[in-house]
Structure 1
Amino acid sequence: MNLEMKKVTVGTLVEKFSLKVLAGQDQLGQMITQPRVHRPGLEFVGHFDFFPTERVQILGRKEINYLHKLTKEERKVRIGNIVHYHPPCFIVTAGDQGLTYLTQHCIEEKIPLLVTKKVETTSEFITKLDAFLVKKLAPEIAIHGVCMNVFGVGILLRGHSGVGKSEMAHTLIGRGHRLVADDIVVLKKLSPQTLLGTHDDNTAQFLALRSIGLLNVVRMYGQKAYQEETRIALDIKLTKWQKDALNNELEQEAHYSEYMGVKVPSIEIQLQPGRDVPGLIEAAANNWYLRQQGYSAAEEFMSRIEAETEE
């Protein structure tokens, strides 16, 4: 379970967003290490105290119009001050007209200059690019288990090898839920509170069942049986049955698992022949959702009891 930090090249952005390369064709291998982009504004007027030099720099219509209005000498100074810091690349969202001066600066400093081809606002492009970089550059680990989406709730199924995690996933698929990953689950930390579960590229869509073999769930059950990723909301550990280990308390004590500093609510479900474990997993997913809405069945039950005793 080793933490891995990702990197993205400028060439990755060119391919992903169909960007036109105006300068720096030989520098497309430049690495991007920061998940958020920057739109320079104060930097054009000489304020560099908080300039995030390692971020992708976005130039929209406002920035390009400002540069166009400057004299040749002023423009040279303003742009020169920024390219001096060698950001990984510039992306222009206002078309490629009149960018000769900017192109020349980027050629001289060996900085890729890219232009969007699609018609969209700068804010729309930034939103898409930020989301892409956050996922791509998120710290990640790989764990042994199964990841499912049950009623829209992302669930990790963990347990010792052979306990029946994949078989449980197959049953849940038959009940209309979706497989995300089997055997190897890749967890990405998108924020201090957000954990994304996905697959590694090799195991995507595959489910391994003992006595049966490898299944492609999309080929067998259609696209509805699979999804690429899900936000992890519950960590469920499947364990062997232990007599007298379960209790019937109205409200279970809260337990959490922690991955890369992100806490995830955790419960344990014991396995026994005849026990409807898939149904319990569905109940756990629905109960988690209700809790997010501020509802607790135990609290409602106790309030009824208190109301009755006061009468």
Structure 2
Amino acid sequence: MKSITIPALYCPFESKINNHLASTEQHTNNWIRQFKLHEGADFEKFLGDNFAYMTARFYPEASEKNLWLANDINCLLFVMDDAMDNQVDRADMIKTRNSLLEFIDKCNAILHHPETYTGPDTGVFTALHDVWIRLMAISTPEWQQHFIESLQMMFQAAVWEFDNVAAGKIPTVPEFYNTRQFLGAAHISTDMISVIEEVNISRELLNHPTVHELTVLARNAVCWANDLFSLTKELEHGDKHNMVIIVKEERQTDLQSAIRETVMIHDKDIQRFVTLANELPGVDPDNADLRKYIRILSAILIGNIDWSSAETKRYNFEFVRA
């Protein structure tokens, strides 16, 4: 299928990249081989995805070992998401609803009782156990509980999508707007900021309406951009859980009009993010950790566009030339 043409996205943030990119790429390539998450031609495709560039842009101020961990987690999440995302050729481990639920149960057992895990030396579950042990070593019990809850939201969204596909149902625009952040784990990327970037920000502050809205806006904007970037692939896979496709179906419009409307949704969320970040109603604008948190959210927003448009072979699209 020929590449999709997308209008330029509004994202007025400075592009940054972590100095530990090269060592992170080497580390994760070895980690992927160790746990056999990609092999043969699949490993060559993985190399073309260039996930280390994405992670280095998402967390530009992280320490080397923290960036290694973040990239391992991101690559593992992409393995999981790709398995669940392909509606034409689902991976064996989640081919049926029961096998999907069994997969989720095994993940939950590792998260809740990592000390009892006795799985094989390789594979998704062993890789999950490895990153979870490493995450636990640098995080608080409170953060760990929140992270487990966030993964449950990702799993619940996967079941929701599976059931929709089985029933031949396409969600409405409002339904998808409220759920999309949990499909593909955009919320995990923002949850990891406090640990990977060592931002000392309290749960109380993260739950403040202003900060919470900033976080959700960032997650959603990444998702709308991703829906645009991955549109070619998802049309080929028959995946209709994509804002462009949902807008097209609901509005009964053509594909290019749906693309333009999705760009408008993205840009509106970014504009709201910029306004909130500048004004910060109800919170201390001089809080250094909050300012860093917002800075990293901004890095994720622009980093997703930079990586998707220039540094990965994962997507097939072109921006409209001015």
TM range (shorter): under 0.3
Instruction: Report the structure, 1 or 2, having the larger helix content.
Output: 2
Of structures 1 and 2, the larger Rg is shown by: 1
Question: TM-score, normalization: structure 2?
Answer: 0.24
Instruction: Report the structure, 1 or 2, having the larger strand content.
Output: 1
Which structure exhibits the higher relative contact order, with contacts defined as CA atoms closer than 8 Å and separated by 6 or more residues? 2
